Amino acid sequence: MKKKIFIYDTTLRDGSQGENISFSVDEKIRIAKKLDQFGIDYIEGGWPGSNPKDKDFFKKIKKEKLKNAKIVAFSSTRRKNINISEDENFKELLKSQTDFITLFGKTWDLHVKQIMKNSLKENLAMIKDSIKFLKLKNKKVFYDAEHFFDGYKSNPEYAIETLKVALKSGAEFLVLCDSNGGTLHNEIYEITKNIKSIFGKNKLGIHTHNDSGLAVANSLIAVDAGIEMIQGTINGYGERCGNADLISIIPNLKLKMNYECIKIRNNLSDLKSLSNYISESANMISQNNHPFVGKSAFAHKGGIHVSAVLKNPKAYEHIDPKLIGNERRVIISDLSGKSNITYKAKEMNIKLDDKEAKGLTQEIKLLENKGYQFDAADASFEILMLKYSNKFKKIFDLEYFQVIIEKNKEKESFSRAIIKIDVKGKKQLAIGEASGPVGALDIAMREALGKFFPKIKHMSLVDFKVRVIDGRDGTGAIVRVLIDSKDKNNKIWTTIGVSKDLIDASFMALADSFNYYLNQ
């Protein structure tokens, strides 16, 4: 293996700046834990001085025991013409209690003069004061040189001076940012190579945006030029056209460039699962043509292609899809994915014989064709696996349920759910009322099951997502519902339901959630 390339994930900040993407605090915690399990080196949690959500994240993440990743807080350098002790951003940075902090500062003289209405001298002082202040607090500081490449092309002497000030003040990494995403790959290489020659053994990083469609290529060519850290987001989420996509960068680094880049060497097979988990958390549609992990990344339809692949997969596949957790697909007749099922069974300590594994594989394929997606619904997947291994305890049978949506005299909408279940021959009828139909169903289910299982009061619904899988059928389209629930220990699990009827899909996901909890 060549030298280590550090992976710095900024999905929780830069990624959340993408259009239509918003993470709750609990989602951010779960995503951070997933990234840690995968082996990411650094996870940027957010900007604690900018909003209450990020403040809450840093409070909660301290309670989690991460094994691989270091949590990083983000902020700007101090504001112009003030004493750093008066800057609220730095007060909040210290409250976050992270050992690592990333500061961004201005490199481009255009931004300093025209946007900030600042002097070049004061901008250098801001960089110096900010980093020195944090170093005195025993913090490790990464310096993001914002708009570095544009700044270098405009005024190379000043751009280099900002880096020298940051380094002299104690920065651990100097991160070169292509903030507008407009720099071509040859420029990235030439400029980075020159900076490396100036700064020698000092550590450099790269942070690219995708406005020219080159964020991944620019990140990788910067490695050839000598950088040691890549910043990016899962699936390339981010503002405008997005950030560098770590889902493409990581396998290229490991499989093609022979660099070590995630702490858990054998975790690359979880790449597709990680990509899908983040897309579901962001409530974004996974792109079929996503390189490496997309559903179509190793799908073959043309007759000549299929014939060649069946003889030798290398004919039309640049890597073995199993290496990154994907699978080959031949349109019309999918090939087996039994190995994935066997792996997950071992992971969940569920014993499946060969016949059961094959049967479950076929069942998964049928369900996925109907719109199910189990990568982000491990609880529903575990229930399915327990059923195939005959270890599933049937908690209840549904007699019927009914949901009525009405408006009261104040013309406010509310829902009433009526449900009847059978628990080992004993019938129970319950009614729930709430502002929405899913809430009403949840209350009714909880009321009915609570008569038999008092511990049901310790679990609660914490999140609810709906996705129209294919909108071309209008109101008859299939919808996918994902429900997150948690217990008194804040363990969170996700279940799924799929139907042409939103209420039916919601009930399926709810039923799985209760079944999962009561089977523990």
For residue 163, which amino acid is it?
Answer: L
352 part of a folded domain: no
Q: Which CATH number belongs to the domain containing residue 406 in this structure?
A: 3.30.160
Residue 474 backbone zone (phi > 0: left; psi -120 to 50: alpha; other: beta)? left
350 part of a folded domain: no
The reported pLDDT for the residue numbered 267 is: 80
Phi–psi pair at 63, nearest 5 degrees: -85, -10
Q: In this structure, are residues 231 and 8 in contact, taking their beta carbons and an 8 Å threshold?
A: yes
Domain count, the chain: 4
**Is residue 425 exposed (0-12), middle (13-18) or buried (19+ Cβ within 10 Å)?**
exposed
The reported pLDDT for the residue numbered 163 is: 97
What are the b/e assignments for 184-208, b being 16+ CB within 10 Å? ebebbbebbeebbeebeeebbbbbb
Instruction: Assess whether 308 and 420 both reside in one domain.
Output: no
Instruction: Assess whether 298 and 438 both reside in one domain.
Output: no
170: tokens are 């104690």
Instruction: Assess whether 312 and 222 both reside in one domain.
Output: no
Instruction: Assess whether 310 and 322 both reside in one domain.
Output: yes
For residue 35, which amino acid is it?
Answer: L
The reported pLDDT for the residue numbered 366 is: 83
Alpha helices for 200-298 (secondary structure H): 215-224, 246-251, 271-281
Instruction: Assess whether 448 and 517 both reside in one domain.
Output: no
Instruction: Assess whether 390 and 417 both reside in one domain.
Output: no
279 part of a folded domain: no
The reported pLDDT for the residue numbered 334 is: 35
Rounded distance between C-alpha atoms, residue 124 and residue 329, angstroms: 55
Instruction: Assess whether 289 and 261 both reside in one domain.
Output: no
The reported pLDDT for the residue numbered 345 is: 75
356 part of a folded domain: no
Instruction: Assess whether 148 and 243 both reside in one domain.
Output: yes
Instruction: Assess whether 24 and 92 both reside in one domain.
Output: yes
For residue 78, which amino acid is it?
Answer: R
359 part of a folded domain: no
Q: Which domain holds residue 329?
A: 285-335
Instruction: Assess whether 171 and 211 both reside in one domain.
Output: yes
Q: In this structure, are residues 226 and 203 in contact, taking their beta carbons and an 8 Å threshold?
A: no
349 part of a folded domain: no
From residue 428, alpha-carbon distances to 105, 420, 432 in Å are: 63, 6, 13
Q: Which CATH number belongs to the domain containing residue 237 in this structure?
A: 3.20.20.70
Q: Which CATH number belongs to the domain containing residue 312 in this structure?
A: 4.10.430.20
What does each of the 520 residues of the chain score in pLDDT, given as a tens digit?
578 999 999 999 999 999 999 999 999 999 999 999 999 999 999 999 788 899 999 999 999 999 999 999 999 999 998 989 888 889 999 999 999 999 999 999 998 999 989 999 999 999 999 999 999 999 999 999 999 999 999 999 999 999 999 999 999 999 999 999 999 999 999 999 999 999 998 999 999 999 999 999 999 999 999 999 999 999 999 999 999 999 999 999 999 999 999 877 678 999 999 999 999 899 888 888 999 999 889 887 665 776 777 788 888 899 999 999 998 876 432 333 455 566 567 767 888 888 887 888 788 778 877 888 877 788 888 888 888 888 888 889 999 999 998 877 676 788 999 999 999 999 999 999 988 888 999 999 999 999 999 999 999 888 888 888 776 666 668 899 999 998 988 888 999 999 989 999 999 999 999 999 998 8
227: tokens are 């950088």
The reported pLDDT for the residue numbered 474 is: 66
For residue 266, which amino acid is it?
Answer: N
Instruction: Assess whether 237 and 140 both reside in one domain.
Output: yes
Q: Which CATH number belongs to the domain containing residue 386 in this structure?
A: 3.30.160.340
346 part of a folded domain: no
341 part of a folded domain: no
Instruction: Assess whether 403 and 387 both reside in one domain.
Output: no
249 contact partners, CB below 8 Å, separation of at least 6: 7, 216, 219, 220, 230, 232
